[in-house]
Amino acid sequence: MERVLVTGGAGYIGAILVPLLLKRRYFVTVIDNLLYEHLALMSCFSNKKFQFIKGDVCDHELIKAQIPKHDIIIPLAAIVGEAACKQQPIYARQVNYEANKCLLDNLSDTHKVIYPSSISVYSLCRQERYCTENSLVSPVSLYGQTKSESEDLFLNFKNTIILRIAAVFGISPRMRIELSVNNLTLKAIRDSVVTVSKESAKTNYVHLQDAAEAFLFSIKNFNSMQGEIFNIGLNSANVTKKQICNSIQRFVPEIHVTEILTKDANNIGDYSVSSDKIGNLGWRARVTLEDGIKELICGYRIFNKLYLDN
């Protein structure tokens, strides 16, 4: 059975992906600096096929030492999102680009890489009805830029699959309440008032479970997918923030939605994305936006002391 190295494996997606990999009987090593000191992977420690290394992907010597011990590399470690990258621009470039360059420089011809990019590379792709993998990339944020630059790196390595993942939503052991759907749902049930910027701007979404399953699908179908880029999203969830709020309102009818103007509103992504390319190979997102919202409402209300009282 192949050995998988997942950097940033204790994060939002990794907390779902790693247990799935172990369930499929892969040997899994996670490197994570546990920046948020969470317990996302505690249930994995009893599995003899699991190894955890507390470390940072910017520790290039650590990465160099681990790469030869593994067959598949999934570099999930990243400073994610425009806001987080703005707060730590130097560190964001180190994690999102320099660490990937180090990884690439130490790969052999036998390694397989599944690189998680983002649909943020499209950003202002408004000329087409749907952005496809052949659309011109035009990232406007530092996050999108570092993802696009890393894509260019990995495309030079033939044994790479690039997954451009849509905006993710859903419950994770390493929860991220700042993500758009997660955040709007939390505000709806906590405050009954939701404020959004540029509510008509459209983007694509995908449930966390479907995003994790896309990695497993890519491993299973590696030979037919290698060297290619694939969008990973729910085709029916090319929606605006206003539409997300309308969906939330079906379950929380008392919410009031207002739009606020921000000075950088013109730089907010506004595009629809097609995931038909990977869909033609047999993968498709299964969890609807409405089902994800119901899941979030249930989770927030159960853990009300953690989320609703703050």
Model confidence over 149-159: pLDDT tens digits? 999 999 999 99
pLDDT digits (tens, 9 = 90+) for 97-133: 999 999 999 999 999 999 999 999 997 666 667 999 9
- The parent domain of residue 196 ranges over 180-201+236-272+287-307
Residue 126, pLDDT score? 61
Q: How many domains does the chain have?
A: 2
Average pLDDT (42-58) is 96
282 part of a folded domain: no
Domain membership of residue 221 (yes or no) is: yes
The answer to whether position 245 is within a domain reads: yes
Mean pLDDT of the chain: 92
Q: Are residues 80 and 209 in the same domain?
A: yes
Same domain, 82 and 222: yes
Is 155 found in the same domain as 86? yes
Q: Name the pLDDT band for 140 (thresholds 50, 70, 90).
A: confident
Could you identify the residue written with the tokens 């999934």?
74
**241-249 vs 180-191: helix axis angle to the nearest 10?**
40
Domain identity same for 163 and 249: no
Lowest mean pLDDT among 14-23, 259-268, 297-306: 259-268
User: Does 213 fall in a domain?
Assistant: yes
Instruction: Please name which of 301, 185, 196 lies closest in space to residue 249, comparing C-alpha atoms.
Output: 185
Are 154 and 194 found together in one domain?
no
Q: Is 108 left (phi over 0), alpha (psi -120 to 50) or beta?
A: beta
36 and 121 fall within a common domain:
yes
Residues 101 and 137 occupy one common structural domain: yes
Do 80 and 138 fall within a single domain? Answer: yes
Q: What pLDDT score does 193 carry?
A: 85
Q: Is there a contact between 229 and 162 (Cβ–Cβ < 8 Å)?
A: yes
CA distance 285 to 229: 17
Is residue 97 assigned to a domain?
yes
Amino acid at 120: S
CATH number of the domain encompassing residue 89 = 3.40.50.720
Are residue 138 and residue 246 in the same domain, yes or no? Answer: no
One domain, residues 213 and 86:
yes
pLDDT value at residue 237: 97
In a domain, 281, yes or no: no
d(CA 120, CA 221): 25
Mean pLDDT along residues 200-213: 94
CATH number of the domain at 192, please. 3.90.25
Per-residue pLDDT at 267 exceeds 60: no
Query: Same structural domain for residues 55 and 23?
Result: yes
* 283/190: higher pLDDT: 283
Q: Specify if 278 maps to a domain.
A: no
Q: What pLDDT, in 10s, does the model give residues 70-107?
A: 999 999 999 998 889 999 999 999 999 999 999 999 99
Q: What is the distance between the alpha carbons of residues 259 and 181, in angstroms, rounded to a whole number?
A: 16
Residue 277 counted as domain residue: no
95 and 136 co-located in one domain: yes
Q: What is the spatial distance between Cα 90 and Cα 98, in angstroms, rounded to a whole number? A: 10
When pLDDT is averaged across residues 11-31 and rounded to a whole number, the result is 97
Under 8 Å CB-to-CB from 242, ≥6 apart: which residues? 196, 199, 200, 257
Looking at the chain, the whole-number percentage of residues with pLDDT higher than 90 is 79
